[in-house]
Amino acid sequence: MKIAGVLPVIFLVLCAIECNVSAFWFRGKPFPGKIQNDGSFFNDVRDEPEEDPGILENIEKAVDPCGDVWTKFEEYCYHVGAKIMTEEQAQQYCDQEMDANLAKINSKEENNFVLDVAKRHAPSAKKVWIGMKWENKSRNYYWYDNSVPTFTNWAPGEPNGKVKEPCVAMYIEQYEMLPVMAAGYWNDEVCDAPHTAAVCKRLY
């Protein structure tokens, strides 16, 4: 290479430092950089002042209106607590701590979504309580708001406990040897069944 070929480059680099201007732009940043008022050399993206966190927070909210510890699906937000609870504790947890209800599930897609959230957020649980219960009077399972289930995903042979198993949980652990307990299926349970976490749901 002829020396004349690199001279403009050397000039540009030296000038960028000495003349206190940027030689050119690289990926949206001045390069090689500028000498700042305090004498430090500025050319690293990490040195840039951060954007106003208020703006970022608002953008985040617009993208995910559910906020921290919640996951959005259609017009609802879902939260799975990592703790093991009885069904009554789960109800209280969703209602009093999360301002929500135990989840009512209305479609296969929603069921798959809840299963996915539960697996990620309650890895130590084997099941999650959903908002369905046996009602003595009408002798059937209803949602907590007394609505009749339009979608159910009972495991084969379930529910079989009725009065004896008035609460309902979704399996989230895959039992390889027990296809009737496959993850995503529902089972009626005693309300203090072990290994069960809460899945809460609210409108956003």
Using CB under 6 A as the criterion, which residues of the chain lie in contact with ligand NAG when the complex forms? 136, 163
User: Looking at beta carbons only, is 110 or 188 nearer to ligand NAG?
Assistant: 188
Least Å distance, CB 142 to ligand NAG, is: 12
What's the closest the beta carbon of residue 106 comes to ligand NAG, in angstroms? 24
Question: Smallest distance from the beta carbon of 167 to ligand NAG, in angstroms?
Answer: 11
| CB-nearer residue toward ligand NAG: 115 or 168 | 168
Nearer to ligand NAG, 33 or 166 (CB): 166
Of residues 164 and 195, the one with the C-beta less far from ligand NAG: 164
Closest CB to ligand NAG belongs to which residue? Answer: 136
Signed CA dihedral, 83, 84, 86, 91: sign only: positive
